[in-house]
Amino acid sequence: MNGTEYTYFLTNASLALRVMEYLQKQTLLGVKFVTAIHQIDGWAIKIKLAAALDRQQDGNLRAFLIELGIPYQPDTRMAMALWSLELGASPLDVMRRYQVAVVSHGTPEKKDIEAFRQQFTKGLGYCPETLA
């Protein structure tokens, strides 16, 4: 059975961290990978599960995600970047080719987002709203 995908747009890093935290705790969901891409105006988060969820689990996950963000339909460039990552391209290659900031791809990891936020704000000298 094919897995299910959820792609959402979140406005800041705190919300992206909450998604990662939630997915780390929900081991029964069977997360295949999670991708977090930082954009100028927020975060694109794609969650791919190993198998489809039952109605209750699907409803619970969607309810959680809709509390934090909105369903996201990526433009062509972003869709190609997400697809390339799924096919095994390295995050560095994807960043170069599609000019996107792949912050995390693989198992749900809070540390990737935290490190990106720290490095980015250190370089700027302030914290943009999307990294709050």
Spell out the domains of the chain, with CATH numbers in brackets. 5-131 (3.30.70.1950)
Could you give the CA distance from residue 128 to residue 41 in angstroms, rounded to a whole number?
A: 10
The 5-10 sheet, strands edge to edge = 70-71, 5-10, 42-49, 31-39, 101-106
Checking if the pLDDT of 93 tops 50, the result is yes
pTM of model > 0.85: yes
- Mean pLDDT of the region 97-113: 95
- Assess contact for 94 and 100: CB atoms under 8 A: yes
Contacts of 24 (CB under 8 A, 6+ apart): 108, 110
Checking if the pLDDT of 69 tops 90, the result is yes
Alpha-carbon distances, residue 79 vs 25, 75, 117, 118 (angstroms):
27, 6, 24, 27
Contacts of 50 (CB under 8 A, 6+ apart): 3, 30, 31, 32
Residue 131: which pLDDT band, with cuts at 50, 70 and 90? confident
Give kind and range of the element (H or E) at residue 25.
helix 13-25
Position of tokens 């619970």?
60
